[in-house]
């Protein structure tokens, strides 16, 4: 066994050592003691085995090279790792020379040791950094202070189309798209110099001339004197994000069936038209248009024929209006038109008459001849000096008067119409009384993960146990109080009742998260988060994470950033949020980007026709894709058939609710339903899809 005193190996710097093989004495240079952090007693230990202190991976190689040195060589340079008394390994470079006497006998070994641990660590870090630079998915460019390119990585070449050789020494100005002003770049460099970094979106140009969007981050590297030595730019191609944005913005502002402006864009245009109207001292008219007999067409011929009728009539109505007028579809068979630049009320009479004629004319869909009419309500601004929502509501009220007058006519909002609002106040009083008498009740519709076959929660849906009219659905009373303070009272009752029910279920051993709907008005009220905290504190046994708030009417959110703060305050309490009816035009990319909602809900109107309407399928697919891009969960509502559930699974949407899974039911029925669901009986009853076969619907054979 080759033996050697390993005191030198523990040294942390450079040191000399000698080993006299004749006397077995070892001599250590003072520098070894100067570099070593161990006790001096360690150096006086007896000669010990070489291999014992080597790293296990280095032992065979180290012993082999030392054997070769002793038998054949005169000097050796070797790197190895050796164990210190403190249990750590250090990297040592040892340069060893052997000496022989005149007879050729080996008499002494001299050596110099250098601690290269720090060098090895730096070398590893450099290799890691080089690998990260080369193989990063983001493009990276390193430039000198003047912007001349020094190095680029593989992703840079893949994104821009330029090879490394084509850009080295060139200025980054070669990538400019021409879309930004000089002031943009001046501001960018100003920020860079002041803060040493800049981050933002920018448009650049590929080698093939294609202009594309980047998410770019630039950082400056300075020396010890504070002078700039390098600029490091890291960027990603965000073309796919921009494409999603375009689709979503279109969804957010235009009706997917008729491509007319939706309620969101209508509000924007109406607000702008009102300002222009006051500035020019003119009038504008708001028309609420409801088709008479459209429901009969849908019931008799189906939704496809009904959709074709809506498209045809949309073209006709748009054709009767002037270029600067607006026609919007706000839902179903309801449209709103805004007529601008009117000198007096009579200026719109001819337009109203043309609208009625255009709508009542026959429409042919395939071999079917269809004919409907319209009831139109009208109000004028600024005579009706209301906000935009109230103007539309007044026109809506006038439309009902037109229906009462026999349909196929128009009615202008006036004081008589206004008096009928008193009837609404009576309804308010009746609803408030119902709240006091506990006539309201919550039904619950289960929500499931169809791929896993698990129940993930239930949505609370309000019903009115009316003493004379039996059980009323929300559509029969909630519109009466929409955007009025009493709706906030009712909304808080829903939250409190849902929390009470969660506690009752938990007492039975069922931990069921419950989602409740909250209106834009309720969410934006002063002190909403504080009111929510009071409601949560009334049920301390219920963890807030079991409550999900579904935000309705996001287009009515006046200040998105303020609403975002309110939502964050609520999230701090432990609750979570969902964006309801996503894709109907009530939501936009702005809300998705800024509102901290963890869940997106696809509206049932798109799920219903997604298998027969490519546009609806595209919307569903886009929403699922956007949810993944923004790391949000997505749930589809209105799932009623096996085919729809299979298609949604294929698209990556696993969370679902709808009549095909379970209808809304009283709270007392939920435990039994869950038991049936867990045993598999619930699937058979609903004729939907067996959860054990769910994977089959993701295969081509199942589509």
Q: How far apart are CA 78 and CA 75, in angstroms?
A: 10
Cα distances (angstroms) measured from residue 179 to each of 201, 212, 638: 12, 11, 44
Quick one: pLDDT at residue 588?
59
Quick one: pLDDT at residue 428?
78
Q: What is the average pLDDT across 352-377?
A: 94
Residue 578 has phi, psi (to 5 degrees) of: -130, 150
Q: What is the average pLDDT across 598-606?
A: 90
Is the torsion defined by CA of 13, 18, 21, 25 positive or negative? negative
Quick one: pLDDT at residue 581?
67
Quick one: pLDDT at residue 494?
97
Q: Which residues of 549-578 are buried (b: 16+ CB within 10 A; e: fewer)?
A: bbbbbbbbbeeeeebbebbeebbebebbbb
Q: With 50 as the cut, is the pLDDT of residue 692 above it?
A: no
Q: pLDDT digits over 438-489, tens only?
A: 999 999 999 999 999 999 999 999 999 999 888 999 988 888 887 778 889 9
Quick one: pLDDT at residue 6?
44
Q: With 80 as the cut, is the pLDDT of residue 583 above it?
A: no
Please tell me whether residues 262 and 199 are part of one structural domain: no
Quick one: pLDDT at residue 1?
34
CB-neighbour burial class of residue 336 (10 A; exposed 0-12, middle 13-18, buried 19+): buried
Q: Do the domain assignments include residue 104? A: yes
Q: What is the average pLDDT across 126-149?
A: 78
Q: How far apart are CA 354 and CA 342, in angstroms?
A: 16
Quick one: pLDDT at residue 44?
35
Q: With 90 as the cut, is the pLDDT of residue 673 above it?
A: yes
CB-neighbour burial class of residue 666 (10 A; exposed 0-12, middle 13-18, buried 19+): exposed
Which residues neighbour 251 within 8 Å (Cβ) at sequence distance 6 or greater? 583, 585, 588, 619, 622
Q: How far apart are CA 371 and CA 378, in angstroms?
A: 23
Q: Do the domain assignments include residue 668? A: yes
Quick one: pLDDT at residue 98?
82
CB-neighbour burial class of residue 193 (10 A; exposed 0-12, middle 13-18, buried 19+): exposed
CA torsion, ordered 615, 649, 585, 320, to nearest 10 deg:
20
Please tell me whether residues 70 and 196 are part of one structural domain: no
Q: What's the angle, vertex CA 646, arms to CA 302 and CA 585, rounded to 5?
A: 55
Q: Do the domain assignments include residue 530? A: yes
- Give yes or no for a contact between 644 and 607, defined as CB atoms under 8 angstroms apart: yes
For every residue of 380-416, which 3-state class applies, written as one string?
A: EECCCCCCHHHHHHHHHHHHHHHHHCCCCEEEECCHH
Q: Of 237, 271, 301, which residue constitutes the final position of a domain?
A: 237
Q: With 80 as the cut, is the pLDDT of residue 25 above it?
A: no
DSSP class of residue 598 equals S
Quick one: pLDDT at residue 668?
95
Q: What is the CATH number of the domain that holds 170?
A: 3.30.450.20
Quick one: pLDDT at residue 415?
64
Whether omega before 107 lies within 30 degrees of 0, making that bond cis, reads no
Q: pLDDT digits over 563-581, tens only?
A: 899 999 999 999 999 988 6
Quick one: pLDDT at residue 51?
65
Q: What is the average pLDDT across 422-443?
A: 85
Quick one: pLDDT at residue 577?
95
Structure tokens of 183?
């002031």
Range in 19-23, 96-100, 221-225, 243-247 with the lowest mean pLDDT: 19-23
Quick one: pLDDT at residue 39?
35
Please tell me whether residues 160 and 307 are part of one structural domain: no
Quick one: pLDDT at residue 630?
87
Please tell me whether residues 549 and 656 are part of one structural domain: yes
Please tell me whether residues 320 and 349 are part of one structural domain: yes
Q: Of 237, 268, 301, which residue constitutes the final position of a domain?
A: 237
Quick one: pLDDT at residue 354?
94
Structure tokens of 254?
């235009």
Q: Of 214, 237, 260, which residue constitutes the final position of a domain?
A: 237
Q: What is the CATH number of the domain that holds 278?
A: 3.30.70.270
Quick one: pLDDT at residue 646?
92
Range in 108-112, 396-400, 524-528, 603-607 with the lowest mean pLDDT: 108-112
Q: Do the domain assignments include residue 127? A: no
Quick one: pLDDT at residue 556?
60
Q: Do the domain assignments include residue 598? A: yes
| Domain containing residue 57 | 3-121
**Bridge partners of residue 100, in order along the sequence:** 106
Higher pLDDT, 681 or 193: 193
Q: Which residues of 313-322 are buried (b: 16+ CB within 10 A; e: fewer)?
A: bbebbbebbe
Q: What is the CATH number of the domain that holds 588?
A: 3.20.20.450
- Residue 511 — very low, low, confident or very high, per pLDDT cuts 50/70/90? very high
CB-neighbour burial class of residue 180 (10 A; exposed 0-12, middle 13-18, buried 19+): middle
Instruction: Give the total number of structural domains in the chain.
Output: 4
Please tell me whether residues 552 and 683 are part of one structural domain: yes
Quick one: pLDDT at residue 425?
66
Q: Do the domain assignments include residue 178? A: yes
Please tell me whether residues 433 and 551 are part of one structural domain: yes
Q: With 60 as the cut, is the pLDDT of residue 700 above it?
A: no
* Beta strands 409-412 and 373-381, pairing class: parallel
Structure tokens of 583?
């894709």
- Residue 594 — very low, low, confident or very high, per pLDDT cuts 50/70/90? confident
Q: What is the average pLDDT across 578-601?
A: 76
Please tell me whether residues 259 and 328 are part of one structural domain: yes
Range in 342-351, 407-416, 677-686 with the lowest mean pLDDT: 677-686
Q: Do the domain assignments include residue 528? A: yes
Q: Do the domain assignments include residue 131? A: no
Q: pLDDT digits over 629-644, tens only?
A: 889 999 999 998 889 9
Please tell me whether residues 446 and 302 are part of one structural domain: no
Q: pLDDT digits over 58-69, tens only?
A: 888 877 777 777
Please tell me whether residues 351 and 436 are part of one structural domain: no
Structure tokens of 663?
């209808």
Quick one: pLDDT at residue 517?
95
Please tell me whether residues 342 and 411 are part of one structural domain: yes
- Residue 555 — very low, low, confident or very high, per pLDDT cuts 50/70/90? low
Would you tell me how many other CB atoms lie within 10 Å of the CB of residue 11? 27
Which of 238, 637, 700 is CA-nearest to residue 450?
A: 637
Higher pLDDT, 526 or 270: 270
Q: With 50 as the cut, is the pLDDT of residue 33 above it?
A: no
Q: What is the average pLDDT across 431-443?
A: 93
Quick one: pLDDT at residue 689?
46
Most distant CA atoms of the chain, gap in Å: 132
Quick one: pLDDT at residue 699?
34
Q: How far apart are CA 425 and CA 422, in angstroms?
A: 5
In the predicted model, what is the mean pLDDT of the chain?
A: 84
Please tell me whether residues 560 and 698 are part of one structural domain: yes
Residue 218 has phi, psi (to 5 degrees) of: -120, 135
Quick one: pLDDT at residue 131?
62
Quick one: pLDDT at residue 463?
97
């Amino acid at each position: 066994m080759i033996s050697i005193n390993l005191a030198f190996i523990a040294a942390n710097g450079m040191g000399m050592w000698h080993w006299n093989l004749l006397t077995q004495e070892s001599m250590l240079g003072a520098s070894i003691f100067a570099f070593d952090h161990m006790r001096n007693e360690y150096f006086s230990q007896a000669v010990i085995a070489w291999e014992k202190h080597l790293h296990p991976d280095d032992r065979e190689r180290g012993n082999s090279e030392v054997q070769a040195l002793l038998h054949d060589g005169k000097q050796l340079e070797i790197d190895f790792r050796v164990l210190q008394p403190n249990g750590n390994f250090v990297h040592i470079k040892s340069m060893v020379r052997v000496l022989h006497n005149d007879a050729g006998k080996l008499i002494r070994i001299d050596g110099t040791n250098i601690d290269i641990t720090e060098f090895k660590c730096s070398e590893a870090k450099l290799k890691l950094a080089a690998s990260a630079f080369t193989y990063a998915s983001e493009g990276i460019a390193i430039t000198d202070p003047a912007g001349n390119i020094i190095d680029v990585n593989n992703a840079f070449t893949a994104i821009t189309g330029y090879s490394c050789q084509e850009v080295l020494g060139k200025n980054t100005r070669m990538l400019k798209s021409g879309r930004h002003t000089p002031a943009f770049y001046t501001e960018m460099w100003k920020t860079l110099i002041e803060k040493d970094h800049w981050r933002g979106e920018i448009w650049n140009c590929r080698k093939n001339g294609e202009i594309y969007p980047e998410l770019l981050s630039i950082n400056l590297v300075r020396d010890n004197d504070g002078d700039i030595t390098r600029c490091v730019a890291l960027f990603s191609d965000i073309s796919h994000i921009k494409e999603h944005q375009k689709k979503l913005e279109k969804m957010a502002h235009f009706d997917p069936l008729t491509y007319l402006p939706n309620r969101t864009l209508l509000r924007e245009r109406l607000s702008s038209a009102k300002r222009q109207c006051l500035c020019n001292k003119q009038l504008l008219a708001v028309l609420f248009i409801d088709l008479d007999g459209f429901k009969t067409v849908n019931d008799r011929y189906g939704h496809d024929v009904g959709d074709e009728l809506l498209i045809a009539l949309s073209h006709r109505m748009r054709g009767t209006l002037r270029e600067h007028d607006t026609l919007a579809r706000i839902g179903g068979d309801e449209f709103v038109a805004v007529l601008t630049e009117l000198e007096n009320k009579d200026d719109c009479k001819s337009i109203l008459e043309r609208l009625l004629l255009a709508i009542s004319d026959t429409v042919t869909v395939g071999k079917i001849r269809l004919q409907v009419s319209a009831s139109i309500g009208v109000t004028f601004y600024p005579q009706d000096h209301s906000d935009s929502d109230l103007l539309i509501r007044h026109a809506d009220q006038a439309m009902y008067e037109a229906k009462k007058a026999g349909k196929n006519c128009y009615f202008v909002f006036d004081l008589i119409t206004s008096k009928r609002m008193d009837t609404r106040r009576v309804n308010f009083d009746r609803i408030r009384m119902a709240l006091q008498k506990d006539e309201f009740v919550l039904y619950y519709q289960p929500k499931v993960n169809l791929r896993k076959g698990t129940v993930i929660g239930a949505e609370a849906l309000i019903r009115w146990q009316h003493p004379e009219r039996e059980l009323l659905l929300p559509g029969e009373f909630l519109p009466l109080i929409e955007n009025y303070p009493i709706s906030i009272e009712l909304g808080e009752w829903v939250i409190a009742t849902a929390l009470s029910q969660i506690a009752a279920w938990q007492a039975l051993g069922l931990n069921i998260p419950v989602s409740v709907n909250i209106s834009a008005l309720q969410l934006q009220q002063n002190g909403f988060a504080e009111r929510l905290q009071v409601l949560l504190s009334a049920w301390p046994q219920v963890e807030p994470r079991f409550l999900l708030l579904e935000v309705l009417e996001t287009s009515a959110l006046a200040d998105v950033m303020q609403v975002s703060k309110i939502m964050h305050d609520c999230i701090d309490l432990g609750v979570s949020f969902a964006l309801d009816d996503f894709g109907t035009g009530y939501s936009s990319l702005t809300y998705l980007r800024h509102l901290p909602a963890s869940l997106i809900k696809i509206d049932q109107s798109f799920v219903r026709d997604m298998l027969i309407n490519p546009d609806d399928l595209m919307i569903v697919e886009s929403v699922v894709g956007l949810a993944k891009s923004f790391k949000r969960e997505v749930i589809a509502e209105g799932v009623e058939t096996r085919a729809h559930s299979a298609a949604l699974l294929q698209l990556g949407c696993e969370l679902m609710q709808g009549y095909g899974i379970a209808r809304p039911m009283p709270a007392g029925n939920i435990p039994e339903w869950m038991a049936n669901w867990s045993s598999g009986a619930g699937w058979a009853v609903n004729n939907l899809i067996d959860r054990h076969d769910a994977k089959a619907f993701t295969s081509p054979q199942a589509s």
